[in-house]
Amino acid sequence: MTRFRAACLSVAMLLGISAPASAQLSALDRQRAKAELFAKERAQTAVNRGAALMKGNTEPTSGTDITDERLEVVMTPSTGDFRVTATVSIAARSPISTSSFILSDVTVTSVQTPGGAGVSYAHSNGVLILSYGRTLSTGETFTFVVAAQGPLSCSGQSDYCVVQSRLSHLLGVYFYPISYDGPWADRFNIDLTVDVPDALLVNAPGNRAGVTTANGRARHRFVSFEPTPFVTLSIGQMVTKEATAHVATKDVPVRIATMTGYESTHDKFLNHTVAAIELFSNLFLDYPYGKLDVAMTNSAFSGGMAPQATFYIGEVLFQSGDAGWTELILEVFSHETAHQWFGNHVAPATNDSNWLSEGFAEYLAVLHSNARTATWAHLHAAQEDYRGVVGPSTDGPIDGPGPGDYFRVVYEKGAAVLHMLRRYVGETAFFTGVRNYLAQQSGERVPIKTFEDVMETTAGFDLTPFFNVWLRETGYPKFVLASKMISTAGGLVARITVSEPSGRAFPMRVPLEVFHEGGAAKVDVFVDKASQSFDLPVPSPVLAVRLDEAHEALRLVQPGVPADVNASGRVDGGDLLDLAARYGEQRGGAAFDEMSDVDGNGDVDEFDVNAIKANWGLSSGQ
């Protein structure tokens, strides 16, 4: 912004004329939309009790290898009933102490288990839990067969049905050990056959392995080889549209399926998903599967879920809304698409490692948003949501048993940490490291340490301090930025000091820019101590200092001299000019900067003008 423009705004401000609100979609728009979505989700609490179990598809599975899991769903055209037969054979790679198999919202007709102590099962309220309580030795196999049946639930929709499970209207069959011992190296071969009337559409995980039709029925087969054995289906009369994503090694068919009445949304969401596949393939590895099916589920399910080569989106997310709502929903589609790489192609070893799935998926949604809008608005929204909502009682480490506010810590802070890692190691090392991680760990379940090791090898320097602080500690820095001029034999030097009052170090690499009468000097600095000073030669006194002006790091910055908005080392007219450029902005707004919010009330307003007046002439030497 030119000095003339800033001066004009300053005059307008002092006359009580507010600057117009920014036209750019901001964190505030997303926060309002997110609040609306959360409200709708809370309204579905009764039917969404299993949401945590949906995220639980990353429960520990170490020490086992499911060599053959077969699931067959048969629906009879006359009654709409389905029958499920699931056969699971587990061969232990290393000793394992406890395992479970859960089948939800069905009537269990028979269970066949191996003999021996420690085998038990319980069935109540439509949920079967089968446990194998004794130690399974390396190489020992454990096979059981469960047969179940149940009605196809339509939830009031005459043309759309999905098989119900504990997780809102999806059939879920999954296996996981409750405790584990040994390497995180599990793979699951899943062969799924679904026999339905040929008028019904089937959405299922895995690659399509053919469909045969006869006598008005269709028999669909899906096969997958993956580290996360979570099988979900949606079955119903649905309206579809298809497109093709073009990646380097193949063409990927993409299909969207919704209930009738939502056809007008197809192009928007289909084109968006295709663009996400192509972007993520270009940045990382080619899309790992042979297709992607996107299926609407009914209104009881208000979120998204992404098993292999498929993802499900609740009906509520297809509903129209304002710009903030629309952008939020597009980001959900990006997030679920990203799970095909992070969460499916490579899976976290345990829930403690779920950042490898959810944090990465959220960051890829940030990257897609940036590619579409040429802004970091999605990143800023995640930062602001975490800073503004999470407190000591709800914070927690990303790599740990789970914070109180799981979404804002693991998803939003998790995405912000990845962006800071990208800045810390540099563009080339970051994207090369992530590509190496995906290629080396294909089909595996890994702890966070595996990712750390790959990134450190690629970057070529020790990343332990970065990961320990950002993944295993809580909070974020609240920097104090100060400057002063020093005369040396070689000329003027601007000494810029960045300090964290708590005494904690938060490693990051951020741009530092110093403005002077002759122009500006900009350097990247590693801020990895609780207090650091940086000396920059300048030809004339400093007019302003900016630390991470684009807000790409998770931090707050306040001036070292009260009301020194531009951190020049003195409170003067330059601070009024800087404040004028942001006058009327609110926290979360596209142009908001906390340095201009002198009194910290979340608004750049007349109270901040008064604070500058009250501190007029104050300098760093006083």
Q: Is the pLDDT of residue 556 over 90?
A: yes
Range 3-20 average pLDDT: 32
Residue 430 backbone class (left: φ over 0; alpha: ψ -120 to 50; beta: rest):
alpha
What totals of helices (H) and strands (E) does the chain contain, helices first?
14, 27
Per-residue confidence (pLDDT) for residue 526, from 0 to 100: 96
Range 586-609 average pLDDT: 88
**Residue 33 confidence class, pLDDT cut points 50, 70, 90:** low
Worst-scoring range by mean pLDDT, 70-74, 230-234, 242-246? 70-74
Where is pLDDT greater, at 201 or 468? 468
* Contact yes or no for 352/400 (Cβ under 8 A): yes
HEC profile of 460-493: CCCCHHHHHHHHHCCCCCEEEEEEEEEEECCEEE
Where is pLDDT greater, at 64 or 246? 246
Question: What is the spatial distance between Cα 285 and Cα 434, in angstroms, rounded to a whole number?
Answer: 9
The DSSP letter of residue 20 is P
Tokens for 8? Answer: 């004009």
Most confident of 14-23, 169-178, 349-358: 349-358
Per-residue confidence (pLDDT) for residue 194, from 0 to 100: 74
Question: What is the spatial distance between Cα 525 and Cα 518, in angstroms, rounded to a whole number?
Answer: 22
Per-residue confidence (pLDDT) for residue 350, from 0 to 100: 77
Beta strands in 198-238 (DSSP E): 201-203, 207-214, 217-226, 230-236
Where is pLDDT greater, at 435 or 126? 435
DSSP-based three-state secondary structure for 420 = helix
Q: Is the pLDDT of residue 196 over 60?
A: yes
Sign of the C-alpha dihedral computed for residues 338, 341, 343 and 344 taken in this order: positive
Residues 6+ apart with CB under 8 A from 281: 245, 247, 248, 287
Per-residue confidence (pLDDT) for residue 524, from 0 to 100: 95
Beta 292-297 vs 310-314: how paired, if at all? parallel
- Give, for 82, the enclosing helix (H) or strand (E): strand 81-92
State phi, psi for 571 to the nearest 5 degrees.
Answer: -95, 115
Tokens for 617? Answer: 């002439």
Where is pLDDT greater, at 20 or 621? 621
Per-residue confidence (pLDDT) for residue 290, from 0 to 100: 94
Q: Is the pLDDT of residue 481 over 90?
A: yes
Range 509-522 average pLDDT: 93
Q: Which of 519, 514, 521, 516 is nearest to 481 (CA)?
A: 514
Question: What is the spatial distance between Cα 340 and Cα 287, in angstroms, rounded to a whole number?
Answer: 8
Worst-scoring range by mean pLDDT, 193-202, 205-214, 237-246, 596-605? 193-202
**Residue 219 confidence class, pLDDT cut points 50, 70, 90:** confident
* Contact yes or no for 394/474 (Cβ under 8 A): no
Per-residue confidence (pLDDT) for residue 370, from 0 to 100: 96
Question: What is the spatial distance between Cα 14 and Cα 12, in angstroms, rounded to a whole number?
Answer: 6
Q: What is the pLDDT of residues 111-166, one digit of tens each?
A: 666 555 555 566 555 455 555 555 556 656 656 565 555 544 333 333 333 333 22
- Whether pTM exceeds 0.85: no
Query: What do you get for the CA distance between the two ends of the chain, in Å?
Result: 31
Where is pLDDT greater, at 197 or 526? 526
Q: What is the pLDDT of residues 373-387, one digit of tens each?
A: 999 999 999 999 999
Range 430-437 average pLDDT: 98
Mean pLDDT of the chain: 76
Q: Is the pLDDT of residue 6 over 60?
A: no
CA dist list (Å): 521 to 512, 536, 596: 8, 8, 22
State phi, psi for 376 to the nearest 5 degrees.
Answer: -105, 30
Question: What is the spatial distance between Cα 542 and Cα 103, in angstroms, rounded to a whole number?
Answer: 68
